[in-house]
Amino acid sequence: MTKSICVVGAGVVGLTTAIVLASRYEVQIIADKFGADTDSVKATAVWHVYLVPETAEVLEWSSVTLQRLLDISRLYPESGVEIIGGVELFRAQRRHVPAWSHIPPEFAFLTDDELQRFNEPEGALHGSISSLSNAPVKWGYRLKAPAAKMSSYLNWLVEQAERRNVQFRRQHVERLADLSCQHDIVVNCTGLGAATLVNDEAFEPYKGQYFVVASNDGSPIEYIGDDDHPDGMAYVIPRGGRGHDWR
């Protein structure tokens, strides 16, 4: 008998989980938010090994994920996943070679001339974000990685799930236990909702300012990450010429 699985949550994690499981099981997604109403639509959505331990297991997961995203960008242009170049800048962190540097299609440390561009007040790449005289950029690296336009990517994931006969139900879930009598397995993919759904007192969300601006001739053509900015982490991400996400 085929097992019945319920995935709670319809963000990028819930949809991806359902798609993978649907190859072997009967899967239903239950959520009270879908598409643009989910928090996933606001995700930075650039592949990176970030804020996780760089263990062999994590690097293997990262490598598999990267390859899958590369395949999606190549085979399904309508998915909203594309390969973009980017730079990561560091002002305070010690220079080191990331354990994952061999995984992305391209990785290289910034040259002295490139660093100087980011430290010039009138630099070409938005000096107001990346250049402060009292906190100069000391090192950084350049890489290429997949990035997803989340509004498109979420819609594409829904289509992939529907093709695999995943069922969708809009419902607010108060307790995971309420679903156990209807399904063999319940998978919690609620993201931020886990804080209240399972009383996760250790859950700590982070907040920031996020906005989208229209592209113009002076907009960056690559993403810029500035984790050590004295006023807080800042970045800009181009979205296929249609606009830029700023934080």
DSSP letter string over 122-171?
T-TTTHHHH--TTS---EEEEEEEEEE-HHHHHHHHHHHHHHTT-EEEE-
Burial class (CB in 10 A: 0-12, 13-18, 19+), 35: middle
Query: What pLDDT sits at residue 133?
Result: 66
Residue from 99, 97, 94, 96 nearest 55 by CA: 99
Q: Which residue has better confidence, 118 or 243?
A: 118
Q: Identify the sign of the CA torsion 44, 48, 54, 59.
A: positive
Residue with structure tokens 């010690």?
94
Beta bridge partners of 81: 148
Strands 185-188, 4-8: parallel, antiparallel or unpaired by DSSP?
Answer: parallel
Residue with structure tokens 């997604």?
29
pLDDT tens-digit map of 130-161: 445 678 999 999 999 999 999 999 999 999 99
Query: What pLDDT sits at residue 80?
Result: 93
Distance CA 20, CA 117 (A): 44
pLDDT tens-digit map of 93-124: 899 999 999 999 999 999 999 999 888 765 44
- Pick the range with the lowest mean pLDDT from 19-23, 72-76, 141-145, 193-197: 193-197
pLDDT tier for residue 202 given thresholds of 50, 70 and 90: confident
pLDDT tier for residue 83 given thresholds of 50, 70 and 90: very high
Judge whether residue 231 has pLDDT over 60. yes
